[in-house]
A = this chain, B = another copy of it.
Amino acid sequence: MASKLDDRKKQILKVVTDDYIASGEPVGSRTIARRYDLGLSPATIRNEMADLEESGFLEQPHTSAGRVPSERGYRYYVDALMARKSLSEKELEVIYGELDQYHEEIESLIHQTSKILVQMTQYPGLVLSPQLQTAIFKHIQLVKLSKSTILVVIVTDTGFVENKMIELQQEISSDELDRLSVLLNQRLRDLSVRDLQLNHFMDLNSELVFHDQLFNEAIKVLIKSLSDRNKNGERVYIEGTAKILEQQEFLDLQKLKPLMGVLEEENRLYKLLYKDVIAKSKVKIGHENEDQVIQDCSVVTASYEIAGRAVGVIGVLGPTRMDYAKVLPIVEGTASVLSELLSQISKRGKL
């Protein structure tokens, strides 16, 4: 299996892939000779295609059908062959305009982002919300709701507001609560949630001048509630699942069902995406995906940032026969616009 391809083979592989992505039909030597002006006869192309199949870049659905790119073929196409371009300023403006309407609230902003991905790519769109783990405490406020119920409001630098009601055994006075708020604010500010280990709190606790049993309890409950939070803070938003019905590869209900199942399981979608927070942008083709069920799909992702720190991922999911050349710039462009908007929000709230 030689991985070195001469120029003509590259050209043919590119043309086959382009054509297959556009048409969905296996492409034959004759079609290529007619449709693309390569100056080659069908017979020559046939020979080259046989070679490409030999080296694993193309496949034949059955003996007398045309050729189709293999996963390896797609990989090579994405890495080396396809036209790579970025969105134009104007296109970015449009996305910006669409999203800017929702800058009031981070959750709708993210929601809207997935909708835009769907609209522009015609594939289901995914957004992994900013990870609480990497977020940095900015403000914590304790509000007394009733004798023993207090509301904890945490604001992070990523603009997220988290609420949690917690219950104490004893009553705590508003004054005490305020003092606790102040103390926690001083101590936690600029810590990331990741840093927030039990021992940080322990430190805090031991430093308390007026530590009494009540405070101990309050802090213990708080720790517990926050570490609960960590587990489930990140959400995956998905929109446009209905779009996969448009894909001819999923006309078959037997294939469709498990896929639809996955798209409903936030957990699995999370696993699909969370590793890509660190990757700038990534295309995962077929078996490169860990989840068995989507091994005839591809996932195109790009991470987005807040103030220069990668915090989340957006992406789309489609069949391996995905229009990578169209989708990749859209995903990347949308991620960059989202980054900009989130950074603005973050800055807005800076002290």
Q: Footprint of B on A, CB under 8 Å?
A: 104-105, 108, 138-139, 141, 143, 145-147, 149, 151, 153, 155, 159, 161, 163-165, 167, 225, 228, 232, 239-242, 245-246, 251, 253, 256-257, 260-261, 263-264, 348-351
Contact = CB atoms under 8 A, between A and B. Distances in A.
A263 B147 CA distance: 43
Q: Indicate how many identical chains form the complex.
A: 2
Contacts of A155: 143, 145, 151
The 5 closest A-B pairs by CB, nearest first: A242-B260, A161-B163, A146-B351, A145-B349, A141-B143
A172 to B, nearest CB: 14
B256 A241 contact: no
A14 to B, nearest CB: 32
A264 B241 contact: yes
A246 B257 CA distance: 8
A163 B155 CA distance: 10
A217 to B, nearest CB: 17
A149 B349 CA distance: 6
Contacts of A108: 232
Given A228-B104, A245-B253, A251-B253, A146 B348 contact: yes
A138 B105 CA distance: 22
Nearest to A347: B146
A242 B257 contact: yes
A146 B349 contact: yes
Contact of A165 (B104, B246, B260): B104
A13 B304 CA distance: 60
19 contacts: A104-B165, A105-B165, A138-B145, A139-B143, A139-B145, A141-B141, A141-B143, A141-B151, A145-B349, A147-B351, A149-B349, A151-B155, A151-B161, A161-B165, A163-B163, A165-B349, A167-B348, A241-B241, A242-B257
